[in-house]
Structure 1
């Protein structure tokens, strides 16, 4: 038995020691030990609430890990079978992650480590590798013993010895998502529905494969080239292109890019990529580098194949499928199609991104009769029954391939014609922004955006790429009336990207966006230049007194009617002799304001009759601040109708100033003083003001829980209701008398 075990270990080493070289001109194999780079793994269960395309979601995770590396400790291969972070052990471990992330490479490394005796010699007497793709060709029921026997050549195993070590066997099932099992839910093996699969496993431990972080990407490049210095130089070139660099978390992307560098004689093969390349730019560039100038027939076949596999929701196909599309075999399309190492009759696309790009191209390419090689009815089939964003990347490519620049590239390289009709969908606004950003076609994007009047993206933005896409769409839109962003950190640099698009909407809501005093100069330019602005919401941003002072300066100087995308630093001389901004509503709730902010706000009230609503709640303005503020409200130019001062640390001393405003203020109709310790004297002053004939107030909101604190508790209930009805009755009578006088 010992001799058989050693013989089996040598077989494993021979089988897994080399991997196929991706370079289409070499056809060679390289050492697994030479090429393998440690992957980033972390113990984590899949989140059923995760939204978005797998590759795009993984990119966001890497951005989060780079920002907070301390939150994401890596788990090495040696930790796969140990206890988890909570000390629990499991006999089943599930590796999950998108296609091309490195799951198979990790499992091959695991088998090699066992066979060489480097890892787990005492834990596992035997380790067996089963490729699930190989099982699809068999219609017979197979036992576990059959699986083990079929995974090994004759004469390498002693079954008696294996059965004696049943508690020390490691069975590796690779490519489980390619397995056709009729008694599992139809989507159980899909990556997006791994939760369904886990229901069939007992206490499984889940480990997410996240590909390469930054240091591992550099190591992979250095391992790929014989001269590590060449690899380091190639890596630095890739890092200089942000879009391409972001893709390199995926080992499949690194392999493709390194293969291009190894084949080219150019000193900088990236020079053909636009400086601000979109995802479509990158994938088109990679595709051309791999396919070269193959015939159009082959391109059409690849596109049809990619689209068909998406419709069938399967990534693996056999030689018969290739022949149906006139493709011969995978060797004629190196770098795009990969042959399975263990099942030589099955193939898959090397990169999920390639498959989706080619599928998108099938809806754009025109045949000799001027028709697209795939119908738009098929496109509706792709999207029609999707409750999740499985085809987000495909949708972006559909728009990206409509850009004139990409059309010229396609025609120049392959002489093909495309159509860009009927590709617009309004279902998801953020994805629409990404799609239009991919086109880089200003006229096309402008024609689409003229149909969008309200852009509500609150709690949706999460990356700089999201921001860039939104900024692009804002810059080309002339019809947008309302923009709502929230819960996305906007510093000066990010806000600067949005500026050209903020000079047009009439409603702008940027609450909870982390805006500080450093952004207020740009915000001031917005209120000064946007002649359509009627509502501005900056609530729950720590602007501070200095920030609001800067903002008020923009309101006071708002004479500009600029319609073009000019710089916020443009001279004020361009803005002379024009009508002022018609701002009607301004919300500054919870902006860390004190009494110091009341002086500039008072000046705005005295000179901006168009400002009819102001929310200053949640700011500790205090009585001194209100005293200053009320001076502006008494000005004849003040047009304020609705004022919110809840939670402003006011006492009865502030009521004297407010009462004088109510007595003489010609416009104020609604006042909120909730959650302030006004006291009885303060309330009496307000009630006296309500009786005045010139008082226009129609609605007064407050909480009475802090008015009568000095009374005994058992008198409190009756006293509370006495004042409650007294105040509202007084207000009602006052309003009724005024309406009667009006009549």
Structure 2
């Protein structure tokens, strides 16, 4: 079991009942934070329920070999006449789609991935999907048997923090739990921790990623991005699981930074049924829905 140095020496061993209360408190705050999203058609201070506007996207899974081939073609296409359209990709891969509740399911050999990479071009809904996963976990609708606690870390925010933090401080900052509460939870169930790490391509472009010394001490303070690096590679909290998002173009370099075993997936957008569902949520009038949907479909 992972030792949490500074905090574990000062306090008694974690109490399971106390940790359960802490996690329930945390889940309540997650629901308050993730349950709503901005509605850009409304004034800036108004929000709508995420669940009411979320539409399930098409996520496909590839083997490592398929991903390497796809990545080479994707990079090559950026320098030639153009990339494949999303409709072409969806047509080719629609039979391999999986749901978000299957991301950490064992494969045909019974192996469960430690790291799932969810790639996709900008605007495909990667961040939105992570927010939905957080909400569903906190509501008891997703991964409740798999993971005792889920933390969301956004690389775009982390790279702007210049104060040095250790892992416990970083998770306290992102979750609102105290360092003591974080330490207690991580000591009790390190193998049931899931990290959702959004925008890992921001990490890849954040130098100097190749010169950060590894350390196994969760009490050691470094920059947030350096602390994240040691989580990504499994140096810190190796028992934990990760779901990371990144742009498609950065997926291959990202895979080399992460602990295994890995599963590569890509978010492709909506299926035709999903598009219809999406438009139905915004256009209650049936005639207006059909007119708008057909207009977009024909483009």
TM-score normalized by the length of structure 2: 0.69
* Mapping of residues 672-683 of structure 1, within 5 Å: none
Aligned pair in 2 of structure 1 residues 171, 143: CA closer, same or farther (>3 Å)?
same
Deviation by residue 1:710-734 (Cα, 9 ceiling, x = unmatched):
xxxxxxxxxxxxxxxxxxxxxxxxx
1:326-725 aligned within 5 A = none
Alpha-carbon spacing, 1:30–1:24, altered in 2? closer, same or farther (3 Å) = closer
Aligned counterpart, 1:100: 123
Deviations 1:257-315 (A, max 9, x none): xxxxxxxxxxxxxxxxxxxx7xxxxxxxxxxxxxxxxxxxxxxxxxxxxxxxxxxxxxx
* Alignment partner, residue 245 of structure 1: 297
The answer for unaligned runs of 5 or more in structure 1 is 247-276, 278-743
Question: Among residues 167, 173, 177, which one is paired with 2:197 in the alignment?
Answer: 173
**What secondary structure sits across from 2:105 in the alignment?**
coil
Where do 5+ consecutive residues of structure 2 fail to align?
A: 1-18, 211-245
Deviation per residue, 1:574-631 (Å, 9 max, x gap): xxxxxxxxxxxxxxxxxxxxxxxxxxxxxxxxxxxxxxxxxxxxxxxxxxxxxxxxxx
| Between structures 1 and 2, the one with greater strand share | 2
Partner of 1:233: 287
**1:153 pairs with 2:209:** no
2:52 equivalent in structure 1: 34
1:214 to partner: Cα distance: 0.6
**Which structure has the larger Rg?**
1
Number of residues of Structure 1 aligned to a counterpart in Structure 2: 234
Q: Shift of the alpha carbon at 1:30?
A: 0.5
Question: How far 1:143 moved relative to its partner?
Answer: 3.3
The answer on 1:79 being equivalent to 2:102 is yes
Q: 1:203: Cα distance to partner?
A: 2.9
Distance 1:15 1:192 in 2: 30
Change (3 A) 1:76 1:136: same
Question: Using a 3 Å threshold, how does the CA distance of structure 1 residues 207 and 49 change in structure 2: closer, same or farther?
Answer: same
Match of 1:138 in 2: 161
Q: TM-score, normalised by structure 1?
A: 0.29
Instruction: Tell me if the contact between 1:95 and 1:207 (Cα under 8 Å) persists in the aligned partners.
Output: yes
Distance in 2, matches of 1:14 and 1:142, equals 26
Q: CA deviation at 1:140?
A: 4.1
2:276 is the counterpart of 1:218: yes
1:217 Cα deviation after fit: 0.5
Aligned counterparts of 2:264 and 2:126: Cα–Cα separation in 1: 13
Q: In structure 1, the residue corresponding to 2:124 is in which secondary structure?
A: coil
Distance 1:41 1:89 in 2: 18
Please say if 1:208 is aligned against 2:266: yes
Distance in 2 (CA, whole Å) between partners of 1:6 and 1:30 is 24
Greater relative contact order, per chain length (Cα 8 Å cut-off, separation 6+): 2
Q: Does 1:195 align with 2:252?
A: yes
Distance in 1 between residues matched to 2:52 and 2:209, nearest whole Å: 39
After TM superposition, the structure 1 = structure 2 runs for residues 56-135 of structure 1, keeping only pairs within 5 Å, are 57=83, 59=85, 61-63=86-88, 65-66=90-91, 72-84=95-107, 87-135=110-158
Would the alpha carbon gap of residues 160 and 181 (structure 1) be closer, same or farther in structure 2, given more than 3 Å must change? Answer: same
